[in-house]
Structure 1
């Protein structure tokens, strides 16, 4: 053994004079077949059967095809091996090999080589039973994409003391059913490593589980799983059985004790409610937004936070778009999605497309989740901390300084129809207005007033996009997706999306949203149509009308936009429905007319609005 780190025990035992034509006994072939393996020949079936019986993978070589002694070593640059599946494999220097004088004859613990394969003419066999390092075998099997029955067992850990028993069992079965004789001595190289004893406080299982477990009961439980156990001075010393390589520390022993004693003995105790108001303000506001969107007919989706470069291309983001500056994972789950998202839209669109492909064509989804922004350049590197102690205050500050900004965003995607069709008529198709209304619904849930004005932004349709503002700050955008984006993600045309910075909204949200007092007095309704320049934002006209109407204005709704010949070139007509009501009296016609006149007058003063009709 040239690499004792990769192989600490190697056993070789020869059997000569086997009847090459001897078939496998029916009981053995049947058991191998029931285990999901194909019967091949006596020699092969016996090695497979012993592996299933004892858990020790065993391999056999045709003695006539071997040249010189068997050596266990790492691969050398440029070496190749044709394995039993007929594939020619280029070996990596990290691969552990079984070799003879001619070169590699097998990938240790994974698969043997075709050069020394046992065949129907084999009469002399060299039986190999060894103990290999689990990590080495696992990496080799994944490197060559070759998961075998042997590698699956080695990488999970086997009993290092059973190699000689397994080799002898194979030899005896071969002689019993195929004749021949066993060599007088076996070649045994290396000594199996014995597990180190582990000492724990006898009351540790009780402290971890929360209920009383006697010292003797804990000792008996460990003996049940094969541990050599002693109790002295309130401390338990246990040496794990060689077939339990997973028992390496006190936590493993506690887990075994609880498993044997029974998890059903853990008492069901309700935790005491902590003092204080419970949820933080941020948690309450987040839940309020989720409930408001759910009440509006949207379904919450939990989406993976990983994206890839292909998403930036699908969204049509420019090379200088700040959303392209994403953090790259050191060990991504998928090479196609190695980045942390800077926007919620890609994942939400993939979820929408998956639902549409399964027949859900009328659907509205929303997500509340964090995005990850690298922030300023030169961010400090996160310190590497141990797990043996709690971090200090300074270490926590260093960790926080190294973290990227992670603002909470909310996104809504809607496609198909809103509502259901029936005898009352067809369903209303969704539009960009639904995305804008979702933004307003989010703001209303938080008790914040936002403005909406026309804009252009990558991934939205150039003429059907609006920016959502809180004061002068842009919270996000809403509107109909660009047709190119719909095609890239496989969602229906005219799908609409809104994404807002929820953290920025919540910072301005009051602790308590005061509901408006409901008035029992009649409402006064007035409609007004104003002609303004096409360049004037509708939101600004609406704001002027609200301000001019005063406190008597209960609500206002834009119900028509006209840009035809009658409005004039470069003009548009905006029609609003105004509702007036007082909390303490019935409004007179004069009061309603005065409020309406004040609204129109202020719009005319600011934007040159002219009343139609």
Structure 2
């Protein structure tokens, strides 16, 4: 068997057209005119596309076979003479069917008397806005232009004129003769609709959707002319339960492919190579059954369908030598493997231009035996594309007979007897369909008669048991297994657009909403008012983020991640925010203030809301770059810990949180704190750790916070008190304490032990240095005292201050600063 670029064998680049189109998507490209030769509904092309899409067969792409052009006819070259003033030009006399030969100057190297070619007449409009006019070429009048395929927009081939068949009628419009008004459609099928990877399958579908009758090619089985045959042995019957084969002798591998066949396969995206190759591809596209042809002289003994032996090797048609694993199904003769079953043939058994006797294979391979095997070795073929999703085992013999008839008609030869082997084929158990269930699932009432009509349109065999339908799926519908599958078929035929859409009706009750909780929208608005922008990141994150920002060495892994860098579930929102900053810096955005709300994921045996996993909502924010937008009113400085601490305090107000020093894997150990609210740890705030600044290429320190969202949403109502008319008394108190003593402990203790008249205690100065012993610090507090009923006396004020001093001395060994 040959390809377009070799005279002896199929090359690697052309092997895909033998039984491989290296596409991993479930796509089906077809010609509308070919489809309409099977079923021709009274709908336009656009309506057909809409019909298929709404039935679940998405039309992903639609295109014309050829761009618009006009006034191009079939012409015959009568005479060719050299141009007197140009070496590369010829002066041709051309018959265009008008009764008078025209003179046309042509520079094509392949122009010759007797050939039939497209001729653009004066007034023609060719692709590229090219208009044909009467002209003189080097002084010779030219009444038109003989065209190449490129000039008509058909292909990129400009090497010569497009040669038309001898049977073409002179004067016929080329668009009509070549069916160039045909439309090509590409369907993006779901994996369960492998039955539509053929024109016959599409015709059945269109017939069911429109009610138009479908007609399929009729042919008689080939007459047996020779007795040559081969034994078929199914060594792996679970993987290959059905195998048909036939020897065909005396074939002419150099026979020309008929134009109608070439047109069909090329418009389906497969390049024409040779008659034998084209026939197998044509039958595959027509009936959905991949075929394979072997050189019978290269086979030895019986044909075996068996599993590979570990380490066994095979040289494929694409010139790839594979070392096979023991779960790969092979077709082999008595001595060696000759093909990867259902995937690609072997180079050692392929047919060539010298082949005169071939062995034609048509088999059914179990989808599980083929699925994934080709991709394991880095390619996908048209055959594996179909077999791994399910091929009609009821049409295996029919496809072999169809291909045999075409080979005998086009390439000649004599057919041998049918060789076959059969084991246990897949069962197609009947499915019970209840009309009551149909109406309940779809929300649309269907009578038993309507359901019966829809099932009959699908050409499914069924019986009745009372009100129920007992439906037996055909061999080409692997996707019909349960009742819901049949319900889907009913609504597809009924039409999704025909489902009524009544307005929803429900009884609503007003739920209580306490003022002690604020909605998430209010939390977002507070942050937006403070100059933060909301971001939404994936909950699937890089494993390194979990290790870096949460010290999580055992994150929750995804069984089937959408990308290698999104393989685990996040337990913190920080990683996503850091990635947002990096992205913004790459786009020259030097100041970033962002926040995000979302779930984080932890392993937890009880689990809320999913058993085994705890999924709390969290709120995280980040500030990077300058603390304020660039302006003249304040000096420029970078955002720091205290800026974001203030934002957290504002966010939690009127609740007052405490901040305690803490170590966090994502944060700077001396510039981070836990956030404590009502005695509960609700999150953290701090500056990103220097090592992560270096790892993630951040020139400045990013400051982040992360809080439990439920805690943030809680908000007590403010309590109002009468404003005292009595003047306040203010005293300043300076004490010396240990350098390591935390201010939070001091303020908390003073607030708990303050006298009743003390209304406020605020720190206003911190000092360490000259006059203060090493290891100590001076803290100065402003104490505000006031009574609502009377003016305070000095004695009362002094007593209150002394009470605080005594407490500080006893609790913290504080000393009054002199």
TM-score by length of 2: 0.59
- Greater shift in the superposed pair: 457-466 or 114-123: 114-123
Distance 1:288 1:112 in 2: 66
Q: CA deviation at 1:2?
A: 2.0
Note closer, same or farther for the CA distance 1:454–1:51 as it changes in structure 2 (3 Å cut). Answer: same
Q: What are the within-5 Å matches in structure 2 for residues 113-512 of structure 1?
A: 113-177=346-410, 179-190=411-422, 193=426, 195-231=428-464, 233-264=466-497, 265-270=499-504, 272-273=506-507, 277=511, 289=523, 292-293=526-527, 296=530, 297-305=532-540, 308=543, 310-311=544-545, 313-315=547-549, 317=551, 323-327=552-556, 340-354=569-583, 356-357=585-586, 361=590, 362-373=592-603, 403-417=612-626, 420-421=629-630, 429-441=638-650, 443-444=652-653, 448-470=655-677, 473-491=680-698, 493-501=700-708, 505=711
Please list the CA deviations of residues 373-417 of structure 1 after superposition, one character each: whole Å capped at 9, or x if unmatched: 35xxxx7xxxxxxxxxxxxxxxxx999997255555443333334
Indicate conservation of the 8 Å contact 2:548/2:665, yes or no.
no
Note closer, same or farther for the CA distance 1:535–1:71 as it changes in structure 2 (3 Å cut). Answer: same
Is it true that 1:8 corresponds to 2:241 in the alignment? Answer: yes
Indicate conservation of the 8 Å contact 2:660/2:673, yes or no.
yes
How many residues are paired up?
575
Note closer, same or farther for the CA distance 1:469–1:266 as it changes in structure 2 (3 Å cut). Answer: same
Indicate conservation of the 8 Å contact 1:303/1:351, yes or no.
no
Indicate conservation of the 8 Å contact 2:623/2:639, yes or no.
yes
SS in 2 for 1:127: strand
Indicate conservation of the 8 Å contact 2:547/2:553, yes or no.
no
Q: CA deviation at 1:524?
A: 9.6
Q: CA deviation at 1:22?
A: 3.4
Q: CA deviation at 1:248?
A: 0.8
Note closer, same or farther for the CA distance 1:82–1:299 as it changes in structure 2 (3 Å cut). Answer: same
Please list the CA deviations of residues 345-398 of structure 1 after superposition, one character each: whole Å capped at 9, or x if unmatched: 344434554555455552413233133135xxxx7xxxxxxxxxxxxxxxxx99
Distance 1:581 1:337 in 2: 60
| Correspondent of 2:740 among 522, 535, 541 | 535
Match of 1:513 in 2: 716
Is it true that 1:43 corresponds to 2:252 in the alignment? Answer: no
Please list the CA deviations of residues 553-611 of structure 1 after superposition, one character each: whole Å capped at 9, or x if unmatched: 6897x8987767798754567788999999x9999999xx9999799969965657789
Note closer, same or farther for the CA distance 1:425–1:331 as it changes in structure 2 (3 Å cut). Answer: same
Note closer, same or farther for the CA distance 1:399–1:418 as it changes in structure 2 (3 Å cut). Answer: closer
Q: CA deviation at 1:494?
A: 0.8
Indicate conservation of the 8 Å contact 2:252/2:413, yes or no.
no
Q: By percentage of residues, which structure has more helix?
A: 1
Distance 2:263 2:816 in 1: 93
Note closer, same or farther for the CA distance 1:67–1:601 as it changes in structure 2 (3 Å cut). Answer: same
SS in 1 for 2:669: strand
Distance 2:751 2:349 in 1: 90
Indicate conservation of the 8 Å contact 2:250/2:413, yes or no.
yes
Q: Provide the alpha-carbon RMSD of the alignment.
A: 4.7
Distance 2:748 2:324 in 1: 73
Distance 1:346 1:580 in 2: 48
Q: CA deviation at 1:452?
A: 0.4
Q: CA deviation at 1:80?
A: 1.8
Please list the CA deviations of residues 250-301 of structure 1 after superposition, one character each: whole Å capped at 9, or x if unmatched: 0111111122212331433425256573899999776765565455424142
SS in 2 for 1:47: helix
Note closer, same or farther for the CA distance 1:325–1:18 as it changes in structure 2 (3 Å cut). Answer: closer
SS in 1 for 2:253: coil
Indicate conservation of the 8 Å contact 2:312/2:324, yes or no.
yes
Note closer, same or farther for the CA distance 1:431–1:157 as it changes in structure 2 (3 Å cut). Answer: farther
Note closer, same or farther for the CA distance 1:601–1:78 as it changes in structure 2 (3 Å cut). Answer: same
Note closer, same or farther for the CA distance 1:405–1:232 as it changes in structure 2 (3 Å cut). Answer: closer
Indicate conservation of the 8 Å contact 2:733/2:783, yes or no.
no
SS in 1 for 2:660: strand
| Correspondent of 2:292 among 59, 62, 66 | 59
Indicate conservation of the 8 Å contact 1:60/1:125, yes or no.
yes
> Over alpha carbons, which structure has the higher Rg?
2
Q: CA deviation at 1:23?
A: 4.3
Q: CA deviation at 1:96?
A: 1.4
- Greater shift in the superposed pair: 354-363 or 49-58: 354-363
Please list the CA deviations of residues 428-470 of structure 1 after superposition, one character each: whole Å capped at 9, or x if unmatched: 64333344345435544xx653210223332211221112224
Distance 1:589 1:421 in 2: 51
Match of 2:171 in 1: none
Indicate conservation of the 8 Å contact 1:13/1:168, yes or no.
no
Note closer, same or farther for the CA distance 1:330–1:262 as it changes in structure 2 (3 Å cut). Answer: closer
Match of 2:74 in 1: none
Indicate conservation of the 8 Å contact 1:301/1:348, yes or no.
no
Indicate conservation of the 8 Å contact 2:243/2:361, yes or no.
yes
